[in-house]
Amino acid sequence: MVVSVANPTVVACLGCGSSLPSAEVASENGTRCLRCRSLQRGRLFPAAFRPPAVMSAPPIQQANEAACFHHSTKRASVACDHCGRFLCSLCQFAVGAQNLCPACIDMARDEANGRWVARRMNLDTVALATATLPIFGLWTTLVGAPAAIYLGLRALRQAPGPLPRGRWRSIVAIALGAIQVLIWAIFLLTAFGTALFRGGRLG
Amino acid sequence: MDNLVYQPLPGRGFGLFRRDRVWLAEDHLLSVRSSRFVDIYERFYFRDIHGIHFRERAGEYWMILIAFLLPCHALVALSILHHWAWGIPLAPLGAWTLTYALFGSQAECQVQTSLGLHPVPAISRRPSYDALREKLFPRIEAAQAELEMQPASTVPPPLNVPLPRIMPAVIPEPNRGWYFEGAFSIVALAAIFSLWNQRGIHGVAFDWLEYGLSLATFVSMLVALARAYRVDVGGGVLACLWSIIVTQAIYGSGMAIAASVQNTIARPSRSLDHHPIRVLPDLLFYSTAADAVCITAAVVGTILIMARKKRQLE
């Protein structure tokens, strides 16, 4: 369902696109689309009816003022926190506490859906999977156990994300990796160590 | 690192390797799409949210039909076929029915901003939307309190600026529902075949049940296709023709399978017990030319219909 500023009393069904009265959609129980029979609920907020803000940047008044990278006649107000280019107020995008330029925002866009997204790899989950899944292959733990220890240590030093997340995955991954390495060490020493030591003494 | 306090909201994305959540902060909503290994964050600040939209799919009709078919099939599977394995094909439908009864139909939630619509996959059922509505809406209203609730059409645009731009057009998602409806119809027909296979063993009551189920399935297919089309009379006629052909094709192949299985049971030394692959010649033997034509027409018709729908969407 999306509203057009040209006709705010009508909204479009999310499923089939047919028109629905926005007042009924915003009601407690919503309304049913007559075409696709789906139940539509929702709410439009004052921001939807706000005309788009018109912005302008002040021009350069003096010769020693810095110019915007994209608009040579406009006065720069900030520098991009990512690439350092000077930006006027038209080109400046405030993203959280940072000021970014359009080019840096485009670089951060998700290629799949074109949205600006923030990603974070959960190294602790990767470490835990690396410590547990190779157990089913047995021999694969030869590679998996050291990798799990490495990834677990990296996960402990990884910058925390925006959401609360415990450290138990990293600790369990490191412990499991260490146990697997220990078992492999005992196995290798038992299988080949005796012969090596005996060979050393005989030699 | 953000030193923010996030409050989790109810609602989780559906899927084995998905863990979508929604978190509420002081001034924004955080939508997290996660594959467990990678988190993708989207923040929606309260002052930027134009609207919250929720669409619950119409599942109750199929729910009623499934609730009718499931006990029938279970009855037949346990009392006549004497094997629980016949119930396996309907287990997913049973799980779906249970989920629907507990949490309501599957739904989608989208946040509208000036850039367009952003799906929030964690809000996929009605209870989670109600919780979101209860906690989020007052905060958005408070954040946008200074903005007047005034339609833009009544606000004269300034002379030196372009007209207010219309919201970006949203291309409706292709109605994938009809694929599921088609799949459901095929599974329902499989239930009928299990009855059909027993024809002659049971009495008049089962015959009527069989005919009733056949009719219900056929009508449901017609309804599903009519809903999928809902364009013009030509499309409706084509849908009817297609459903008749598909029904005949499935019936024909089902009869061939039933006859083949019965033949194998009657002469086990010839087929399945020793050479499972030999059931295939039996199938060909029991299939008629009309069945082959119907199956071919159904496959070709399906491809043509899908191509037509794709052209319509483009």
How many Å apart are CA A170 and CA A172, to the nearest integer?
Answer: 6
pLDDT digits (tens, 9 = 90+) for B162-196: 333 333 333 334 444 444 455 555 555 555 555 55
This prediction's pTM? 0.56
Average confidence score pLDDT of chain B: 65
Flag whether pLDDT at B129 surpasses 80: yes
Q: The sheet that has A39-44: what strands, in order across it?
A: A31-32, A39-44, B51-56, B107-113, B116-119
- Residue A147 included in any domain: yes
Name the closest residue on chain B to residue A2, using Cα atoms: B112
Domain that holds residue A132: 123-202
Tell me the average pLDDT across B212-233: 55
Local confidence band at A182 (pLDDT 50, 70, 90 cut-offs): very high
pLDDT digits (tens, 9 = 90+) for A149-172: 999 999 998 888 888 888 999 999
Looking at the complex, report in whole angstroms how far the Cα of residue B184 sits from the nearest Cα belonging to chain A: 18
Local confidence band at A43 (pLDDT 50, 70, 90 cut-offs): confident
Q: Are residues A97 and A41 in the same domain?
A: no
Quote the DSSP letter at residue A75: B
- Residue A54 included in any domain: no
Name the closest residue on chain B to residue A55, using Cα atoms: B161
Q: What is the pLDDT of residue B278?
A: 47
Q: Where are the alpha helices (DSSP H) in chain A?
A: 22-25, 102-107, 123-132, 141-157, 168-188, 194-202
Q: What is the pLDDT of residue B36?
A: 80
Local confidence band at A175 (pLDDT 50, 70, 90 cut-offs): very high
List the structure tokens of B33: 């799409």
Of the CA atoms within 13 Å of residue A44, those in its CB half-sphere come to 26
Tell me the average pLDDT across B197-201: 51
Rounded alpha-carbon distances, angstroms, from residue B59 to A127, B64, B121: 41, 9, 18
Q: What is the pLDDT of residue B207?
A: 56
Q: What is the pLDDT of residue A168?
A: 93
Residue whose entry in the numeric block shows the structure tokens 């190294």: A123
Task: Say yes or no: A162 contacts chain B, CB-CB below 8 A.
Answer: yes
How many Å apart are CA B109 and CA B9, to the nearest integer?
Answer: 14
Looking at the complex, report in whole angstroms how far the Cα of residue B97 sits from the nearest Cα belonging to chain A: 18
Q: Are residues A85 and A42 in the same domain?
A: no
- Residue A40 included in any domain: yes
**Contact by Cβ (8 Å): A43, A26:** yes
Flag whether pLDDT at A14 surpasses 90: no
Sequence-separated contacts (24+) of A80-84 with Cβ below 8 Å:
A80/A104
How many Å apart are CA B46 and CA B25, to the nearest integer?
Answer: 10
Single residue among A119, A143, A159 that ends a domain in this structure: A119
Flag whether pLDDT at B247 surpasses 90: no
Instruction: Report how many domains make up chain A.
Output: 3
Task: Give the DSSP H or E segment for A121.
Answer: strand A118-121
Q: What is the share, in percent, of chain B residues with pLDDT greater than 70?
A: 32
Of the candidates B34, B49, B170, the beta carbon closest to that of A47 is on: B49
Higher pLDDT, B232 or B141: B141
How many Å apart are CA A126 and CA A137, to the nearest integer?
Answer: 17
Higher pLDDT, B240 or B128: B128
Helix axes B60-79, B177-196, angle to 10 degrees: 20
Q: Are residues A10 and A80 in the same domain?
A: no
Q: Are residues A137 and A167 in the same domain?
A: yes
- Which A positions 30-49 lie with beta carbon below 8 A of chain B? 30, 32, 35-49
Local confidence band at B10 (pLDDT 50, 70, 90 cut-offs): confident
Q: Is B44 helix (H, G, I), strand (E, B) or coil?
A: strand
Backbone torsions φ then ψ of A143, nearest 5 degrees: -90, -40
Rounded alpha-carbon distances, angstroms, from residue A124 to A171, A172, B23, B103: 9, 9, 21, 32
Flag whether pLDDT at A143 surpasses 80: yes
Local confidence band at B160 (pLDDT 50, 70, 90 cut-offs): very low
**Number of CB pairs < 8 Å for A and B?**
173
Q: What is the share, in percent, of chain A residues with pLDDT greater than 70?
A: 81
pLDDT digits (tens, 9 = 90+) for B40-91: 888 888 888 888 888 887 666 666 666 666 676 666 666 666 665 666 666 6
Task: Give the DSSP H or E segment for A10.
Answer: strand A7-12
Q: Is B173 helix (H, G, I), strand (E, B) or coil?
A: coil
Quote the DSSP letter at residue B26: S
Max avg pLDDT among A62-66, A115-119, B272-276, B286-290 = A62-66
